[in-house]
Each structure stands twice: as C-alpha cells, then as structure tokens.
C-alpha cells in the first residue's frame, strides 16, 4: 500500500514555493495558517473532516487549502503544488517570451468607433508591424453609452467598413470582426443574435453592477458563459489594480482613471467549470491597470481545464504591444501555449468560434 502523503508538509511546501516566487503575502499566509490549524488536529478528526467537508469550519482553513489537504490525504500530489513545482526553477522570462512569440493575433481591441483613440486602419497597421496575423476588432455594445457603444446599425456599417479596409491590407493579415458585448444584469448579451452569429469573435464582459452580490453575479456570468455566441469571457473580475499607467493618455476606459476597484464577487469554481464545459475561453487581460484575472484565478481556470486568450484590450496602437504583460502572468501560472486560442491561425480561430456559432 502506498504511504499516504503528509498534508501539512504539502501545505508548508506550497507556502515556501509561493514565498520564493515572491507571491503576495496573504496567499503565503493562507497556506501557513492552514498548516498551523491542522498541526493540532488528531489524525482521525482530520480524515473525518475531509470526508464530510467540514475542514473549512476550522479557523485558518479555506476552500483552496482544504482542497489541497483532501488531495494530499488521498495520496495525490495537490494540483496546486504540482503547478508550482512545474513552473519552479524554470526560466519564466524565457517562457513568457516563448508564449509571446507563439501569439499570432489579439482578440480584444478598440477603435475610435467606440472609446478607442485611433481609426481601425491605424490599429491594423500597428498590428501588422508587431507581426500579428490578425486583429480582432471588438468595439463596445450599445448599452455602454459612455464608451460610445455601437448600435446594431453602426455595427453593420462597421462590418462593411472592415471588409473595405481588409481589401487594402497586406496579404497574410486580416482584421477579424468582433465585439466586446456587455453582459447585462440578467446574463443576456447586449446585441442582436443575428449580428453576434455573424461576427468572427465575441468577447463578453461585465461593465455594470460590478458590486452585485455573489449569487447574482455568479448566475449572470454562468448564463453568459453558456450562451453559444460567447467565445471569450473578458476581464473576468473587473478589478482595477492601479491608476492609468504612466505615459498613457487619451481616450479609453473613461471614468476609470486614477481609481482602483475591487474584484467582483462570484463563484469562480462554478464559472470556470462552465467555461470548460462550454469551451468558452477565459481572457487574460494584459492592461497594466487591470491584470485580470489575478494569478490565483488564472491557476484555478487552468485547473478547471479552460482555454485562454491573452489579449491587450488596446485602445490605442501602442497598447497592442502590451501582450507581453499578459504572457508574463500566464507563464507565472504555468499556462501552456496549447491552451491559448490566439496561438492559433486566423482560420483555426474562426473555425473554432463558428462551430460554437
């Protein structure tokens, strides 16, 4: 019989690896305090609590640490630990560079048709210069009036315009049509179904009611993720970690300037399970002031089996080069290139979105 693992040793090992990777103190503390809480517990009680799911009733033990303990007691290396070990000692800089090099396009960008600062043509030319094979144009949907969201009629006109611009762009590059559609309060999407079906890529994001209580926000996100039109779940938590980065001015993200915002509250496990089930990609938003989702949630999405899209959410041509930031965070979390949909060619990407309709 295989000797059972020591859950406390596993928790301590995780804390150590997190510290060495210079992760946030509160995350390290979560594992250290769980290890401490369990150290005083008789073995029989530990087994019993894991069995009946009451481990989290102990002070200092949360969902994540409880799951590690359960896996460890079952004789398995906790998934959380496995991920940390997998990325430990590896050259993250080289991995982030490789991931960036593997990206062939960007699936979330804005033009001056909504709240971006530049015409579509300029965004496209900057993308060509970066070596991209495609750029998905995802201007905002009607309800986001502060960002000049496009009505159905304006979006139809944009589609005609994009076709003209594409005809004049270099061979081997194309603008793919798309939208960043608002996920409305009831989880429905803020654009006509026939248009959503016609677009190459649909990114869906929550921009309102970010302080909705947990169960409401979870229901809202689950409904959107299950919508077959939705391809990518945009900036998942809506957080703002810093004010506008130095040197960045101009339109875009109006109203977010010089403000931070907490993550919205939702059942991440349920939402990521739904993303995996419906094959909806989770966006890793590269904007420095967003860094969304946070790394702990990227890891959970990875564990849930989700695909990812590493996007810039660029509102200006220079911001198209921000993918590097998203790649660094993805590399820190051990996200492999084959889980990232914008490592695909435009043909593969569109084939995937169209099977989903």
Binding stretches for Zn ion (CB under 5 A):
180, 205, 313
Comparison of 205 and 319: residue with beta carbon closer to Zn ion: 205
Q: What is the DSSP letter of 226?
A: H
Q: How many residues does the chain have?
A: 357
CB of 89 to Zn ion, least distance (A): 36
Candidates 219, 241, 226, 338; CA nearest to 295 is: 241
Q: Who's near 117: CB < 8 A, 6+ residues apart?
A: 250, 251, 252, 315, 316
CB of 166 to Zn ion, least distance (A): 21
CB of 178 to Zn ion, least distance (A): 11
Comparison of 180 and 231: residue with beta carbon closer to Zn ion: 180
CB of 140 to Zn ion, least distance (A): 7
Comparison of 34 and 230: residue with beta carbon closer to Zn ion: 230
Candidates 311, 355, 297, 310; CA nearest to 336 is: 310
Comparison of 144 and 333: residue with beta carbon closer to Zn ion: 144
Q: Strand 281-285 relative to strand 232-233: parallel, antiparallel, unpaired?
A: parallel
Comparison of 106 and 180: residue with beta carbon closer to Zn ion: 180
Per the listing, tokens 């900057």 go with: 126
CB of 122 to Zn ion, least distance (A): 17
- The answer to whether 66 and 306 are in contact (CB under 8 A) is no
What does 48-66 look like in DSSP terms, one character per residue?
HHHHHT-GGGSTT--HHHH
């Amino acid at each position: 019989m295989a000797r059972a693992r020591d859950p406390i040793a596993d928790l301590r090992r995780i804390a150590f690896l997190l510290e060495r990777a210079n992760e946030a103190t509160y995350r390290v503390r979560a594992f250290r305090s769980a290890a401490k809480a369990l150290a005083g517990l008789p073995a029989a009680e530990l087994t019993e609590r894991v069995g009946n799911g009451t481990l989290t009733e102990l002070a200092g033990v949360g969902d994540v640490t409880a799951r590690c303990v359960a896996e460890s007691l079952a004789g398995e290396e906790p998934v959380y630990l496995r991920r940390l070990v997998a990325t430990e000692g590896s050259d993250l800089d080289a991995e982030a560079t490789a991931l960036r090099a593997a990206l062939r396009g960007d699936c979330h960008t804005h033009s001056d048709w909504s709240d971006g600062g530049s015409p579509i043509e300029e965004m496209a030319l900057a993308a060509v210069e970066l070596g991209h094979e495609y750029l998905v144009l995802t201007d905002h949907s009607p309800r986001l009036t502060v960002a000049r969201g496009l009505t159905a009629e304006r979006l139809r006109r944009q589609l005609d315009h994009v076709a003209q611009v594409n005809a004049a762009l270099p061979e081997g590059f194309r603008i793919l049509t798309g939208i960043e559609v608002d996920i409305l309060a009831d989880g429905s999407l803020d654009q006509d179904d026939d248009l959503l079906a016609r677009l190459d890529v649909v990114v869906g994001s929550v921009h309102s009611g970010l302080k909705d209580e947990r169960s409401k926000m979870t229901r809202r996100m689950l409904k959107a993720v299950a919508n077959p039109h939705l391809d990518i779940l945009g900036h998942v938590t809506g957080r703002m970690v810093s004010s506008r980065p130095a040197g960045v001015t101009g339109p875009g993200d109006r109203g977010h300037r010089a403000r931070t915002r907490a993550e919205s509250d939702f059942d991440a496990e349920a939402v990521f399970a739904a993303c995996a089930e419906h094959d909806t990609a989770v966006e890793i938003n590269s904007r420095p002031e967003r860094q969304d989702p946070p790394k702990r949630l990227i890891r959970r999405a990875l564990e849930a089996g989700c695909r990812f899209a590493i996007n810039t959410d660029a509102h200006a041509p220079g911001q198209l080069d921000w993918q590097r930031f998203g790649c660094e965070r993805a590399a820190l979390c051990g996200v492999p290139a084959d889980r990232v949909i914008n490592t695909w060619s435009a043909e593969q990407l569109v084939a995937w979105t169209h099977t989903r309709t």
